[in-house]
Structure 1
Amino acid sequence: MADEYIWLMCDETPHDVLLTDPGARVTDVVQVVRRLTGLSLWRSKVLVTRAPVVVLDHVPEEDAAAAVSALRDAGAHAEAREQQEPDPYWS
């Protein structure tokens, strides 16, 4: 019996939200990260101080854009990156 592989295509490619620099208003950025991730205040602060770091991963494009906007409004430098599709031959 031959094995058959099916490659499923999603309509939407997941995105990652990357915090590149917290900026001058670190406390405001920590509050936004806390709201976005649901982490505790302490863990949010640790995450922000380790920038550059991925704050959210595998989120839809609209959610990623909203998160980047909220982080930028708080004074941070952030961007949304489209995730690379895995190579079906190497996975």
Structure 2
Amino acid sequence: MADRYFLLVCDDSPHDVVLTDPGVRVLDVAQVVRRLTGLSLWRSKVLATQVPAVVLGSVPQEEAAAAVVALCDAGARAETREQPEPDFPKN
């Protein structure tokens, strides 16, 4: 039996929000990470200090852009990265 793979095409490809530098106000950035992810403050601080870190994964572009703005307002440097399309085996 042959395996078949289908690629669903949608208007918005998923994006990741990557924290590249927490800046000098790490606690403020950790609070924003906590608000975005729902993690505890302790885990948010650990995530904010281990850069580069994916804060949010597979979110729409508008949500990713809003998260980057919130992180930058707290003093961090963050960016969105578009997830690559998966390579499916060809028959």
Instruction: Indicate whether 1:55 and 2:55 are aligned.
Output: yes
One-letter code aligned to 2:78: A
The structural deviation recorded for 1:6 is 3.3
| 1:14 partnered with 2:23 | no
- The share of aligned pairs that are identical, in percent, is 71
Q: Deviations over 1:34-72 (max 9, x none)?
A: 000000011001101111100000000000000000000
Shift in CA distance, 46/88, structure 1 to aligned 2, threshold 3 Å = same
Distance (Å, rounded) in 2 between the aligned partners of 1:4 and 1:56: 30
| In structure 2, distance between residues paired with 1:3 and 1:55 | 34
Cα distance in 2 between the residues matched to 1:82 and 1:55: 14
- Using a 3 Å threshold, how does the CA distance of structure 1 residues 5 and 21 change in structure 2: closer, same or farther? closer
- Give the structure 1 partner of residue 81 of structure 2: 81
TM-score (norm 1): 0.91
User: Is 1:40 aligned to residue 34 of structure 2?
Assistant: no
The Cα shift of 1:89 comes to: 1.6
1:5 Cα deviation from its structure 2 partner = 4.3
Gapped runs of 5+ residues in structure 1?
none
Q: For the residues of structure 1 that align with 2:56 and 2:2, how far apart are their CA atoms?
A: 40
Task: State how many pairs are aligned.
Answer: 90
- Give the secondary structure class of the aligned counterpart of 2:51: coil
Which 4+ residue blocks in structure 1 deviate beyond 3 angstroms? 1-6
3-state SS in 1 of match to 2:63: helix
Distance in 1 between the 2:44 and 2:29 partners?
A: 9
RMSD of aligned residue pairs (Cα, Å): 1.8
Q: Show the counterpart of 1:24.
A: 24
